[in-house]
Structure 1
Amino acid sequence: MALDEGQWQIRDLVLGPGTFYGVMDTTNPFNCQVRADQGGDRAWAHGGWSGVEWQAERVVPITVLIDVGAEDVGAAIDARHALAAAFRASHTDLPLTFKLGGREYLLWGRPRMAEAGVDLLGLGRSYVRCAFVALDPMIYSAQEHEVGPVGLPTWSGGLTVPFTVPFTVPAIQTGGIDELSTAGTAEVGLRLRVDGPVPQPRISITDPDDVASTLRVDITVPSGQWLDIDTQARTVLLNGDPAASRRGQAVGDFPLLQPGVSTLRFAAAEEAAGTLRVRWRDGWW
């Protein structure tokens, strides 16, 4: 569902304006930290040194005021139960979505706590301290973009006319090319689906700086079957089956989408009727 400005959602529960759950202004989803795997003082020199650095997980403390609008202890406790259920433990990553500044964002992670106070229950109110840990620290757009189906290229025209000086009429490419754009400020992974028949599918992304990254998979995808490719996780699965990995047949780069407008090219070892679909989200640190 689309959220209103200032609303949050985890599982099926919506928090914020228009609900029993007020999200306090101290709630901040934008804090982030850098993780350095190694560091220490420099020997026989001033200052220190640091090894490879990465973004740490993003911890989002969320303070919620439950207010059922009446001095109804039972209703306040029921609202607390619903909030605790939304923040219950999960063995898989969940989306936490929120809308601020007219844009709907998404974090992937795990709920960690829902600690309720009872001092205001007689007034039908309760402050609850919740927490969500985004194990993937990237902030994504809640809206997922999609391009496709993109067909393999075909060529028409093209010949050399034997005048006194040979004159060439260039061939015209149809299909096999499209544009991908992201409004984010960070590079993001792509989810690619290649539907057969495609012999040796090849996907190339040329970024706004005219730098190209190309991935080739050295198999023939038969008609009625497909490849699921995740360029962030670097996985290649036949028919989406984790037991049917084709990662060993992947050659080249797993392209990521850079901020701005990039060019997508889809090709194969020979002409075929296969197609490519591409999905991605905008991303911010």
Structure 2
Amino acid sequence: MAAFGQIQWGPLMFGPGTQYAVTTVSGLDDLPDIRTEDVERPGQHGDYTGPDYTGARTIQLGLGLRGEDPDDLRALSIALRNATQPQDQPAPLQFLDQGVLVYGKVRKRSIPYDAEYLWRLGDAALEIYCADPYLYGLDEQSASTTAYSPAAGRTYPLTHPRTYGSAGTSGRVTAVNSGASPAFPVLRIDGPVANPAIEQVGTGANLTLDASLQVGEFLIIDTRSRAVLLMGTSPRRSWVRGGSSWPLLQPGSNELAYRGSALPGAPGQSSLLTVTWRDTSL
């Protein structure tokens, strides 16, 4: 376990054992503002209530800068300023002792000038805007399985000793989300395979692709953004069969079944499904 209060943002570490003391943290365990879908009941008391969704999360950090001398304090201020520039994309803010991270952008930064304390002590405040409000586990988890294949059975005519074919593979994988909110998995399918399908057992979710992957080809499927990328770069969203539904890892244990057809000319080569996710909470 990391030291209590340790936080990492890019190259900088805040908290015990560093020159950036963490004085306050707010917004991490708070519930973001709720966006409701409630509608008034005409001619009656009360509302019709729909599902609740959260808005963005805002995290505020208070820091104490502890330099050895004025030059060192100035170097700490410059390093903090350089690490908190405007961003094109969110970056991970890791709460190492809490075991969680968020993805955010620096929207406010304050490093006040106080001549009375500038010999070696200073203060700073950061505001991190998280368009994605989820709290994610630090550890990225993954599990893999080959596509389902039936057992080969007995070999005929029978001989002594009798011979049997391979036992087959189940094509199932279990993903455990230890968070309190549904997690969006990233799915990677490695060929060779034709018309691969991923079913979330017991939920009715079934994602089928009308496509073939050759040996050495792979497909990345991001269930959150609904991106389908051949070789991780080329969009292939049109490969998703109409009527498909996307897997979503509920809190607890989730079982996924992977099926596909073998390609001609690739005997004995198994396609592989790899499921990657993080524990997820709000």
Matches within 5 A, 1:202-221: 202-206=197-201, 210-221=202-213
Residues in 1 aligned to 2:79 and 2:48: alpha-carbon distance in whole angstroms? 48
SS at match of 2:107: strand
Cα shift at 1:33: 2.4
Match of 2:174 in 1: 179
State, as a whole percentage, how many aligned pairs show the same letter: 26
Match of 1:138 in 2: 134
| C-alpha contact 2:25 2:59 (8 A) present in aligned 1 | no
2:239 to 244, 249, 261: 249
Residues in 1 aligned to 2:225 and 2:197: alpha-carbon distance in whole angstroms? 18
| C-alpha contact 1:205 1:263 (8 A) present in aligned 2 | yes
Deviations 1:212-243, CA, capped at 9 Å, x for gaps = 411011001111211110111111111111xx
Match of 1:166 in 2: none
Cα shift at 1:142: 1.1
Deviations 1:31-75, CA, capped at 9 Å, x for gaps = 23234376686665545667664211000011101112x4x2221
Q: TM-score, normalised by structure 1?
A: 0.84
Matches within 5 A, 1:106-255: 106-119=101-114, 120-148=116-144, 150-158=145-153, 172-206=167-201, 210-241=202-233, 244-251=234-241, 252-255=244-247
Q: Is 1:97 equivalent to 2:94 in the alignment?
A: yes
Are the structure 2 counterparts of residues 26 and 245 from structure 1 closer, same or farther at C-alpha, using a change threshold of 3 Å?
closer
| C-alpha contact 2:200 2:255 (8 A) present in aligned 1 | yes
Match of 1:260 in 2: 252
SS at match of 2:247: coil
**Structure 2: stretches of 5+ with no match in the other structure:** 155-165, 264-268
| C-alpha contact 1:192 1:278 (8 A) present in aligned 2 | yes
| C-alpha contact 1:186 1:258 (8 A) present in aligned 2 | yes
Residues in 2 aligned to 1:35 and 1:200: alpha-carbon distance in whole angstroms? 40
Are the structure 2 counterparts of residues 157 and 273 from structure 1 closer, same or farther at C-alpha, using a change threshold of 3 Å?
closer
| Structure with the higher fraction of residues in strand conformation | 1
Cα shift at 1:113: 2.1
Letter of the 2:53 counterpart: W
SS at match of 1:201: strand
Residues in 1 aligned to 2:38 and 2:182: alpha-carbon distance in whole angstroms? 27
Residues in 2 aligned to 1:83 and 1:50: alpha-carbon distance in whole angstroms? 45
Are the structure 2 counterparts of residues 50 and 156 from structure 1 closer, same or farther at C-alpha, using a change threshold of 3 Å?
closer
Give the CA RMSD over aligned residues: 2.7
Letter of the 1:219 counterpart: A
| C-alpha contact 1:107 1:140 (8 A) present in aligned 2 | yes
Deviations 1:157-189, CA, capped at 9 Å, x for gaps = 557xxxxxxxxxxx9542411211111111011
Residues in 2 aligned to 1:98 and 1:197: alpha-carbon distance in whole angstroms? 40
| C-alpha contact 2:15 2:21 (8 A) present in aligned 1 | yes
Residues in 1 aligned to 2:109 and 2:176: alpha-carbon distance in whole angstroms? 38
Deviations 1:98-120, CA, capped at 9 Å, x for gaps = 123xx421101111122012225
Cα shift at 1:122: 2.8
Are the structure 2 counterparts of residues 262 and 49 from structure 1 closer, same or farther at C-alpha, using a change threshold of 3 Å?
closer
**Structure 1: stretches of 5+ with no match in the other structure:** 160-170
Residues in 1 aligned to 2:248 and 2:58: alpha-carbon distance in whole angstroms? 25
Are the structure 2 counterparts of residues 258 and 23 from structure 1 closer, same or farther at C-alpha, using a change threshold of 3 Å?
same
SS at match of 1:85: helix
| C-alpha contact 2:179 2:280 (8 A) present in aligned 1 | yes
